Structure 1
Amino acid sequence: MFKLLIIEDDETLYHEIQERLTKWSYDVHGIQDFEKVIEEFSKMKPDLVIIDIQLPKYDGFHWCRIIRSHSNVPIIFLSSRDHPTDMVMSMQLGADDYIQKPFHFDVLIAKIQATLRRVYNYNTDNIQLKTWCDATIDYEKNTVTNQYGTIELTKNETYILKELIEHKNKIVTREQLIHSLWEDERFISDNTLTVNVNRLRKKLDEIRLGHYIETKVGQGYIAKEVKSS
């Protein structure tokens, strides 16, 4: 049974979500003290976090940032705020998805199921390590290592890199990536993928690999394979 932590101060909405998700056999918990979110997160060790932006004391962006400093657990934002910068900010902080209120419950459950399948099933392949451009990618630990150091990726970033490397030197369309990550592109903003790829490229820049991920305007992305002699 997957454990879900709902960081939502609207008690009516929280209890409705809890009731519905419990019927889908999820173990759902909320926050009792919004000044001790991390303490409750650490105690529960959830498999997925759903978080609102507007919260007492500190906003959801704050808690997303803190959670990301401790864990790669998948995070879905659930918010009534509809400005594009809110979605971009959430993705830049490491969120996996963003759902705008009001929402249809079928959309929420579809996104939860897709995220859990992607995060906890995709890295069960026999091959956990992959080499690319003289770097080692550890799909289980979500890390990329070369002579310049080691970077840690989120699950989404690891999956994007995995998809690109599996089709190295070939264009992977945006539609292919969106469908692979989120399964149903009808529910995904095009900006979501852009932010995730840009975040991945920025991290790869830290170990001098960012320029090996190229954007093909109007088509998609390509991971170049270049090895030192």
Structure 2
Amino acid sequence: MRRLLVVEDDARLRDELCVLLARNGYEATALTTFDDVAEQILAAAPDLVLLDLNLPGVDGTYVCREVRRRSAVPIVVVTSRDNDMDELLTLSFGADDFVPKPYNDQVLLAHVATVLKRSYGEGAASAELTHAGVTLDTARCSVSYQGRTAELTKNELRILALLMRNVGAVVSRQRIQEELWASDEFVDDNTLTVNVSHLRSTLAKIGVEDFVRTKRGMGYLVE
């Protein structure tokens, strides 16, 4: 299991990101103090760092440069500073990728998986999920089956990715709603039902029937 270190001073975002990473097969830890950030990162010796630029008392670009000067650990910058100069500066200081906030959870996971795969080879988590012949490409927001491919909406992607990462287990409606709420969109119970219906229609267009099953009073599952 890859060990990821989150360097984010916003406690709510930090906790949400750690939960997201843990749910998707990573061991996630975070810094909660921001003195000597570069030294803390080096001491933790993670497999990858998710680094915010707006840190108390220190600029993340400086942290990136100091870590890179002494370590080859992959660094994914995740920040609200999304102008071209910030991206160019952090990449020139050794960051491996740059993801602006607010981010789509699945897109962020795809960036993390890509950097891990590039850095460590096949042992890294994949941006693709496959079950029963159905392949979900989270980086391209598409699903394919027997040579046919369909594009997914962002909510269809989130729902299908969550279910395919929990094959054989019933995922509650509340858990799925929480996944969709991460996009800052309000999703009530009826809206979730409509989204699942749309997902099933999309899957049917490529010949996939009865892939997403309903467990009445419980939630949904892929098995």
TM-score, normalised via structure 1 length: 0.52
Name 1:4's counterpart in structure 2.
Answer: 4
CA–CA separation in structure 2 for the residues paired with 1:10 and 1:43: 22
Name 2:67's counterpart in structure 1.
Answer: 67
Q: Displacement of 1:42 after TM fit?
A: 2.4
Name 1:84's counterpart in structure 2.
Answer: 84
RMSD over equivalenced CA pairs, Å: 2.0
Q: Displacement of 1:44 after TM fit?
A: 1.4
Aligned pairs for 1:29-178 within 5 A: 29-121=29-121
CA–CA separation in structure 2 for the residues paired with 1:122 and 1:25: 15
Q: Identify the structure with bigger relative contact order (alpha carbons < 8 Å, sequence gap 6+).
A: 1
CA–CA separation in structure 2 for the residues paired with 1:58 and 1:108: 24
CA–CA separation in structure 2 for the residues paired with 1:65 and 1:8: 17
Matched AA of 1:38: A
- Seen in structure 2, the aligned counterparts of structure 1 residues 20 and 43 have a Cα distance that, compared at 3 Å, is same
Q: Which moved more, 1:21-30 or 1:7-16?
A: 21-30
Name 1:221's counterpart in structure 2.
Answer: none
Matched AA of 1:37: V
Runs of at least 5 residues in structure 1 that lack an aligned partner in the other structure: 124-182, 187-229
Q: State the identity %.
A: 35
CA–CA separation in structure 2 for the residues paired with 1:94 and 1:185: 26
CA–CA separation in structure 2 for the residues paired with 1:39 and 1:53: 16
CA–CA separation in structure 2 for the residues paired with 1:185 and 1:19: 23
CA deviation vs aligned residue, 1:82-119 (integer Å, no higher than 9, x gap): 21101100111011111010010001100111111111
CA–CA separation in structure 2 for the residues paired with 1:122 and 1:70: 25
Name 2:21's counterpart in structure 1.
Answer: 21
Q: Displacement of 1:184 after TM fit?
A: 5.2
TM-score, normalised via structure 2 length: 0.54
CA deviation vs aligned residue, 1:160-184 (integer Å, no higher than 9, x gap): xxxxxxxxxxxxxxxxxxxxxxx95
Q: Which has the larger radius of gyration?
A: 2
CA–CA separation in structure 2 for the residues paired with 1:184 and 1:88: 22
CA–CA separation in structure 2 for the residues paired with 1:62 and 1:5: 17
Contact 2:61 2:93 in 1 (8 A): yes
Q: Displacement of 1:31 after TM fit?
A: 1.0
How many correspondences in the alignment? 127
Runs of 4 or more, structure 1, over 2 Å off, are 183-186
CA–CA separation in structure 1 for the residues paired with 2:51 and 2:41: 12
CA–CA separation in structure 1 for the residues paired with 2:114 and 2:65: 23
Matched AA of 1:65: R
Matched AA of 2:29: H
Contact 2:42 2:67 in 1 (8 A): no
